[in-house]
Amino acid sequence: MKMIEDLISDILKGAFMRCNYDSVYGKVTLSNRPDLCQFQCNGCLRAAKEYHKSPQVIAEEVMTQLGDVSCFKKLEYVKPGFINISVDDGLILEYINDMANDISFGCEKRGTGTTIVIDYGGANVAKPLHIGHLRPAIIGESIKRIGKFLGYTVLGDVHLGDWGLQIGLIITEMKRRFPDLVYFDSNYEGEYPKEPPFNISELEEIYPMASNISKSDSEYLKEAKKNTYLFQKGHKGYIALWKHILNVSIDDLKKNYDMLNVHFDLWKKESDVQGYIPDIIEDLKNKGVAYISDGALVVDVKKDTDKKEMPPCILVKSDGATLYGTTDLATIYERNKSYDPNEIIYIVDKRQELYFEQIFRCARKSNLVSEGTKLTYLGFGTMNGKDGKPFKTRDGNVMRLENLINELIKIVYDRVKEYDISTKEAKEISRKVGLAALKYGDLSNQLSKDYIFDIERFTSFEGNTGPYILYTVVRIKSILEKYYRIEGDLNDKDVSIISPTGESERKLMLKLTLFNQIVTNSFIEYAPNKICQYIYELSNEFNKFYNNNKIITEKNIKKQRSWIKLIILVKDILVNGLDLLGIEVPDRM
């Protein structure tokens, strides 16, 4: 289905053309003054400059062409150059009835044939997820879901860090603690144990201790770097330990991501692309793209148009070591080779903007990616405490993501447990509501902006919050259950939504027609916050309608059935919108 704005725009564009004006001036938008009209066209003001006429003359000419258009209830010229439009209820009714009978609620599968890879994990093995991993995970998951809903082939990649110094540090600390393990015996020829010599709790204790020691003990750090080198060169015992680290870490990461309702299509790792690096480096040398500077191999990526300093992209350091950038270039190459994507999106902290600009320019200059592949960097802002500083625990440490989730769930559980429900159900409701509070509180903000993490506000059942949206859905479910108990199931294919009898009903219907537009724009603009704002406004319109009408006791059967079908559509749109945000809905609250 076309967006309703486009349907109305097409009519206005035809009128502009019949008056010998460019059709571009017939573009219609939703009115920013809903008290005056539903839609507005601002083209007369801009056309006046090109055609050297007054906006009013152009508007009157155009409106004359629209006099017999049945779908318009009211057309009015307003200075300095607007055409205010209110449409006939019939147009809205036809639109929302079509939405109600469409599995995608009118959203076109505009992404068919387009492949997108989204890099939105960034977790490292052997390290627990902390709150810094929250934003990329839930933003990326939402953009991926929206894209898939619109028909795009979207592959979400966790892109695990598993090849750096942290592996050498763990090996060093394990060797210090357990020198007799077979992994450290250079004469060992047998099969290495299938069971790891540590569990996730022990592994998560080993790495930070090793990291702290290395900061003050230069010999320890030197040993860790040596072990990293040996591991990367294929030391059998160290490779066996690394595989244990991977298995234990990935199992735990999947558990935590599942808790967030975040699911990756690809569990690729830095190690997966290491085999490409030697050939890429050699190719860039042969092409003359890479050259030696102060002992390091670099690629110059600056442009004549740059207004700020753009350092070269370093591929190999003077000591022979490759960097994260080298791995990221190889990853772009591997993604291009394996999936031939139309776009690769990186969702990363906004402080890494310069780094990704270097990487993208280097990939382009080196022909590591197809010319038609779009490389997109989405830099997200930080989650701050009420003091305006990055959110931390009371003792000043970075909070583990699992602990933050559990804290939110407990806050909700302390409220829910007072209801007359089982402990099991209370815990399940608390889990869904707590995660909704966390994810909606984050996603409702513009991606690039910093925001204040306010637990009290996010968990409130009032205002622009996740729990408020969930409560609205549960309220509709309750109304429908009452109706079904009294009247039986509604055969909604034989029922149509009929003309509104009040303004709150009309506004609710109009808000429903915007779903297609909101979902499409939220994907084009990488802006899940647009869906948050929409479902919040839709919830408000529903609650106004509900307070103005007695649905269950309505005596007019045709009107009552129309209302039931209407609120089913509202429920389905809200549930679908929440699902695009990665938020689950409880059966009751």
For residues 536, 540, 542, 548, the Cα torsion angle rounded to the nearest 10 degrees is 180
Tell me the CA distances in angstroms from 291 to 298, 333, 400, 567, one per residue in order: 6, 20, 43, 65
The reply to whether omega before 312 is within 30° of 0 (cis) is no
Helices 134-149 and 528-548: crossing angle, nearest 10°? 70
Instruction: Point out which residues pair with 115 in neighbouring strands.
Output: 153
Residue 340 falls in which region: left (phi positive, over 0), alpha (psi -120 to 50) or beta: left
pLDDT, mean of residues 238-246:
97
Q: Which two tokens stand for residue 296?
A: 């390091």
Q: What are the Cα distances from residue 354, in Å, to 298, 350, 530?
A: 16, 9, 27
pLDDT value for 172:
98
pLDDT for 70-92, tens place per residue?
899 999 999 998 999 999 999 99
pLDDT at residue 391, as a whole number: 80
Residues 44-66 have a mean pLDDT of 95
- What is the average per-residue pLDDT within 318-328? 89
Q: Summarize the confidence of residues 556-568 as an average pLDDT.
A: 96
pLDDT at 234 > cutoff 90: yes
Could you give the count of Cα atoms lying within 13 Å of 32 in the half-sphere of its Cβ?
A: 3
pLDDT in tens, 268-310: 999 999 999 999 999 999 999 999 999 999 999 999 999 999 9
pTM confidence score: 0.94
How high is the pLDDT of residue 488? 86
- Cβ pair 491, 578 in contact under 8 A: no
Is pLDDT above 70 for 588? yes
**Lookup: tokens for 162:** 């598993």
What phi and psi, each to the nearest 5 degrees, are found at residue 527? Answer: -135, 80
Mean pLDDT score, 40-44: 96
Mean pLDDT of the region 435-442? 96
pLDDT at position 398 is 77
Closest CA relative to residue 382, chosen from 439, 304, 442, 339? 442
pLDDT for residue 394: 62
Q: pLDDT band at 202, cuts 50/70/90?
A: very high
Distance CA 435, CA 419 (A): 20
Distance CA 523, CA 143 (A): 6
- pLDDT tens track for 99-112: 999 999 999 999 99
Task: Give the model's pLDDT for residue 322.
Answer: 85
Give residue 53's pLDDT.
Answer: 95
**DSSP element (H, E) containing 303:** none
Phi, psi of 341 (to 5 degrees): -75, 155
Which domains are assigned to the chain?
4-87 (3.30.1360.70), 165-259 (no CATH)
Closest CA to 16 of 89, 73, 53, 86: 53
Q: Give the closest residue to 1 by CA, choosing from 119, 127, 110, 146.
A: 110
* C-alpha–C-alpha distance, residues 573 and 534, integer Å: 10
Average pLDDT of the residues in 192-220: 95
Over the stretch 465-520, which tens digit does the pLDDT of each residue have?
Answer: 999 999 999 999 999 999 999 998 887 678 999 999 999 999 999 999 999 999 99
pLDDT at 238 exceeding the cut of 90: yes
Q: What residues have CB less than 8 Å from 586, skipping those under 6 apart?
A: 428, 429, 432, 433, 470, 474
pLDDT above 70: percentage of residues in the chain: 99
Beta bridge partners of 269: 160
Task: Name the CA radius of gyration of the chain, rounded.
Answer: 29
Q: Cβ distance 578 to 436 under 8 Å?
A: yes
pLDDT at 393 over 70: no
Identity of the amino acid at 192:
Y
Is a pLDDT exceeding 70 seen at residue 396? no
